[in-house]
Structure 1
Amino acid sequence: MNTGPEVRLAILNKLEDTLDFFDLQKRRFIGAIPLPPHPHELCLSPDGKTAYASIYGDGVYGNNVHPGHEVVVVDLFTMKSVGVIDTKPYSAPHSMAIHPDGSLFVSCDKSNATLVIDPSSGQIIKAIQMPSHGGHFLTMTHDGAKVYVSNKDTAFLSVIDASTRRVSGRVEVVEGSEGIALSPDGKRLYAMSHMGSPLPNKNRPTGLSFYVIDTASDAVIQQVSLPELSDKPMEVDPESRICATPDGKYLLVSAFKWDAVVIVDVATLTPIKTLMVEAEPMYIDFVPDQPDMAYVANHGAGRVSRIDLKELRVAETFPSAAPPRMGRPEDIAFYQVEG
């Protein structure tokens, strides 16, 4: 009997080098895949059948002595690794996005390059050399026309024309940038300021903030400060991320060293709530058809928090891996399997 789709949460546990699978309805772990050290980011195919896990290396940004050069391909139905894409000679693959034509865009910050890969053959179609340092995160417009790359240590975001596969422009900011995300309607790009940049900058923000960018003109409309988090030294939070809720009502900012998620009202661009989650929150994702529930990967705690966006509270927290493992998740992603 068909009981409807099974909702699974894929959890990329960076420091344990695994991709774990959690059955959301049954509230239990149902599988795990070992990965090379250390996986950082997940990217799911539009049909929800395949996941790509970037193998960044055994270090962190700015101190990645042994950078990785692989993207592991995973069958999400069988929960098994089905292939490995080698990015050599380009190293430290990190953020990824899939183009409507099926090609996979991958940032390789150690090589200052963004790769275009054919996932079916595993071949590099194009290596786009970036005019920046620290191209770590990327995101693609919903129509696949442009790719934005945030640069941790350069005061602009790079813009790639996805059709010509060339750098076509930049978005000037006053500081390096970190996590980036599009609004549901694609009209706005949100980019976190990078507070850990070692570069001197007299215009550096005094606290955590994010940029609001118009995707038609590729210009900054506004820089929004998060005053409740401004008392920490800049350099202690190099891992801030941002995302929009599926209904476009809120922005959620994960503040790594504050162990907090800040909820921002999109209409007014005003922070309305700061929720304490658990140690070192990173990526946030949403259950399909449940836009009022946000799930947060808490890297330092090895746990996942569920935020109720109707009541603006932390409703639940559970392990990111089957006990007694610690997990240490960086990225999470929901998908469905037909029952």
Structure 2
Amino acid sequence: MSSLSLCLLACLNAACARAQSETPSPALLVLDKEDNMLSIIDPATSKTVARIPTGEGPHEITVSDDGKLAFVSNYGARTPGNTISVIDLVAQKELRHVELGALRRPHGITFADTKVWFTAEQNRLIARYDPASNQIDWLLGIGQNGTHMLVFSKDRSQIFTSNIGSDSLTLLVRSGDSVGWTATTIGVGKGPEGADISPDGREYWAANSGDGSISIIDIAAKKVVETLNVQTGRSNRLKFSPDGKLVLVSDLGNSALLVLDRASRKEVKRLNLGRQPEGILIVPDGSRAYVAVAGENAVAVLDLKTLEVTGRIPTGQGPDGMAWVVPR
């Protein structure tokens, strides 16, 4: 074979290798918190196409509106973390390691209004990071212990935080004055953690990890209107299906996933997924859910029509936070 042919063949092989490793569209992003890695998975094949190092103990992840960047809160392990990883999903590499200074235990994180909002659990506050300036440009003290999760309303006018150590939620509502937000503290059950806003924006459901209950908050009234005893051992995450009909709760304590009917407030099904089910992600069309089963180093795939597990995706060590992305 001529040198020209060999060169062309080498170029072709290199192009094929690049194509095989490109970030798929859509892509499932999974944080392997014990490996300190972000895995990019092709949901069509269940294959991992790339693994990208993060900071220590990555727990939660959010994605920019254009699907090109991921932001990872590095919670830490024994030592409290204080960084956010900015990941280029196209080039499949960490662009920068954002040092948060005195802010410790970053956890709940979401992308909104071109910026990254996150909790700093140890500092009892939420903060905002501007990727354009690479600066923390805003802080707001919550004054509650263990400010852990953060959920935005669809119109970005409201923020809920779960305050595990104070058995409370904080509802922040945008205001027109110079303060910017008004805060209401709402007492709930023991150790609220996983939570979600109903798609119609009327209710906020908080899974209380310490007493096996769910607190249902009427958002307009800013108060708990109902408490469900769902008998979870240690609830971790709670998610509404996009149509608002189902509520999924992962139960670390009983190695289960609980499925509730929102209208009747009744249990529909309880599935044993294996040890330590944690993060939950529901795809935008509501056809299936992914549940990170940390103790099995896998993600379970749940068909939301049949409520049957249809597959398992192998992951790294300790999968937890997940995101769904369609790179543009």
TM-score tier by shorter-chain length is: 0.7 to 0.9
Which residue is 2:260 aligned to?
A: 264
Alignment partner for residue 223 of structure 2, among 205, 209, 219? 219
Farther-moved stretch of structure 1 (152-161 vs 297-306): 152-161
**Cα distance in 2, alignment partners of residues 26 and 194 from structure 1:** 34
Which residue is 1:307 aligned to?
A: 302
Equivalence map 1:99-110=2 (5 Å): 99=112, 101-110=113-122
**Cα distance in 2, alignment partners of residues 213 and 333 from structure 1:** 26
Alignment partner for residue 189 of structure 1, among 178, 181, 204? 204
Alignment partner for residue 65 of structure 2, among 2, 24, 46? 46
Read off the aligned partner of 1:87 and give its amino acid letter: L
Deviation of the 1:46 alpha carbon: 2.5
Contact kept? 2:150, 2:160, Cα under 8 Å: yes
Contact kept? 2:242, 2:284, Cα under 8 Å: no
Which residue is 1:117 aligned to?
A: 129
**Cα distance in 1, alignment partners of residues 312 and 45 from structure 2:** 15
Which residue is 1:172 aligned to?
A: 187
Alignment partner for residue 251 of structure 1, among 243, 247, 251? 247
**Cα distance in 2, alignment partners of residues 191 and 264 from structure 1:** 13
Match of 1:278, SS state, is coil
**Cα distance in 1, alignment partners of residues 284 and 66 from structure 2:** 13
**Cα distance in 1, alignment partners of residues 226 and 269 from structure 2:** 20
Unaligned runs of 5+ in 1: 60-65, 196-204, 322-326
- TM-score, normalised to structure 2, is 0.87
- TM-score, normalised to structure 1, is 0.84
Contact kept? 2:189, 2:215, Cα under 8 Å: no
Read off the aligned partner of 1:209 and give its amino acid letter: S
Contact kept? 2:206, 2:215, Cα under 8 Å: yes
Q: How many residues align?
A: 302
Q: Deviations over 1:108-166 (max 9, x none)?
A: 11111211221221211222112111111111111111211111111321122345444
Moved over 4 A (4+): none
Which residue is 1:295 aligned to?
A: 290
**Cα distance in 2, alignment partners of residues 191 and 174 from structure 1:** 9
Which residue is 1:79 aligned to?
A: 92
Which residue is 2:12 aligned to?
A: none
Which residue is 1:198 aligned to?
A: none
Read off the aligned partner of 2:172 and give its amino acid letter: I
Identity %: 29
Unaligned runs of 5+ in 2: 1-23
Change in Cα spacing, 1:142 to 1:288, as seen in structure 2 (3 Å) is closer
Deviation of the 1:105 alpha carbon: 1.5
The answer to whether residue 276 in structure 2 is matched with residue 280 in structure 1 is yes
The answer to whether residue 23 in structure 2 is matched with residue 23 in structure 1 is no
The answer to whether residue 320 in structure 2 is matched with residue 330 in structure 1 is yes
Contact kept? 1:285, 1:332, Cα under 8 Å: yes
**Cα distance in 1, alignment partners of residues 70 and 267 from structure 2:** 33
Bigger fraction of residues in helix? 2
Contact kept? 2:46, 2:313, Cα under 8 Å: no
Read off the aligned partner of 2:226 and give its amino acid letter: Q
**Cα distance in 2, alignment partners of residues 314 and 303 from structure 1:** 13
Change in Cα spacing, 1:252 to 1:174, as seen in structure 2 (3 Å) is closer
Deviation of the 1:288 alpha carbon: 3.8
Alignment partner for residue 146 of structure 1, among 137, 140, 158? 158
Which has more radius of gyration?
2
**Cα distance in 2, alignment partners of residues 142 and 103 from structure 1:** 15
**Cα distance in 2, alignment partners of residues 335 and 10 from structure 1:** 8
